[in-house]
Structure 1
Amino acid sequence: MSRIGKRIIDIPSKVTVKIDGQHVAVKGPKGELDRVLPEQVTVEQEGETIRVLRRDESRIARQRHGLSRTLVANMVEGVSNGFEKRLQIQGVGYRAQVQGRNLILNVGYSKPVEIVPPEGIQLAVEGNTNVIVSGINKEIVGNTAARIRAVRPPEVYKGKGIRYAGEVVRRKAGKAGKK
């Protein structure tokens, strides 16, 4: 049995969960999320906890069990606390700024790169080089952070580019000098 799928999800006091067959809607202080889960799993609410169970022991049901439990847990976590990804910009003259809702990146290209965030995502900049992506949907927060990083991924010789906070970039030695 799936070790992740067996875990019970605790519902915080300010969060309400509505289950209608395969449709799960979660509402909390930060917002509202809903999702349709696969048919291979069932969701049960018992008081202040949620359990995700599989309908049978088929391979596809076992695969979807842990996934569905994690998706529901992320929905509960998102509407109560929210999610956040931090990015760092390294390089001479590289910087970021927020203009309205959009993020403007100056990362060594001839023109600034403008990133338009999806609905429900907030972008913030600290000290020109730290970008914070936050929102209630973990999947969209991660995808937006990955899109920002893909504008100028860190390169291996000098380490210049956009990286996740705490990401370790392996460096290469570069050319050896003449003898």
Structure 2
Amino acid sequence: MSRIGRMPITVPAGVTVEVAEGNVVTVKGPKGQLTRALCPVMDIKQEGNTITVSRPNDDKLNRSLHGLTRTLLHNMVVGVTEEYKKELEVNGVGYRVAKEGKNLVMNLGYSHQVIVPEIEGISIDVPAPNKIVIRGCDKQAVGQFAAEVREKRPPEPYKGKGIKYADEVIRRKVGKAGGKK
């Protein structure tokens, strides 16, 4: 059995989980609501405040989907209670970010400003001119949006200029030798 798939999911107080026909799961909580269609083969049972996921047989496909289904369901429960967040740092001389209305306005060394609009379910905070905090209850959407913002100016290996995740380590390269002849 899958170690992760066997673990039960405890539903905290204030969160409701509804499993509809075809394993369409809706999770409502204080931070929002998420709906996702999970694999219809998996058996999702809710007893009180615990949810268990089981598989019908030990086929290779069912074994691989068992842990995935449980993890997706757990991420939905955690997302509507605590929210997920990604922190980005902007490094470089003259590189800054600001929030204007619902748009993220970035000066990244281009001849123009890069403007990224806020999407539904995602909120952007700019606590400092070189920090971006992206929050939301859908783990996949938060990670995808953070990757798209980082893509506007990925960090380069020589001086480390660009947008990087707060916990990311940039592997630096040595520049030209520059010796005299």
Tell me what 1:105 maps to.
Answer: 106
User: What are structure 1's unaligned runs of at least 5 residues?
Assistant: none
Residue type of the alignment partner of 1:40: V
Task: Map 1:1-179 onto structure 2 (within 5 A).
Answer: 1-21=1-21, 22-179=23-180
SS across alignment from 1:151 = coil
CA RMSD of aligned residues (A): 0.9
- Give the drift of 1:117: 2.4
Distance 2:119 2:46 in 1: 31
CA drift of 1:6 comes to 1.1
Shift of 1:20: 1.5
Contact residue 40 and residue 60 of structure 1 kept, 8 A:
no
- TM-score, reference length from structure 2: 0.96
Alpha-carbon separation, structure 2, partners of 1:31 and 1:37: 19
User: 1:44 touches 1:52 (CA, 8 Å); kept in 2?
Assistant: yes
Equivalent residues, number: 179
Structure 2 unaligned regions, length at least 5: none
Residue type of the partner of 1:4? I
Residue 111 of structure 2 aligns to a residue in which SS?
A: coil
Percent identity, aligned pairs only, is: 49
Contact 1:30/1:79 (8 A) holds in 2: yes
How much does 1:94 deviate? 0.3
CA contact (8 A) 1:133 1:145 kept: yes
SS of residue matched to 2:126? strand
Amino acid at match of 1:86: E
Match of 1:87, as an amino acid? L
Cα deviation code 1:55-106 (max 9, x no counterpart): 2211111111111111100110011111110000000000001111110111
Q: Distance in 1 between matches of 2:71 and 2:116?
A: 29
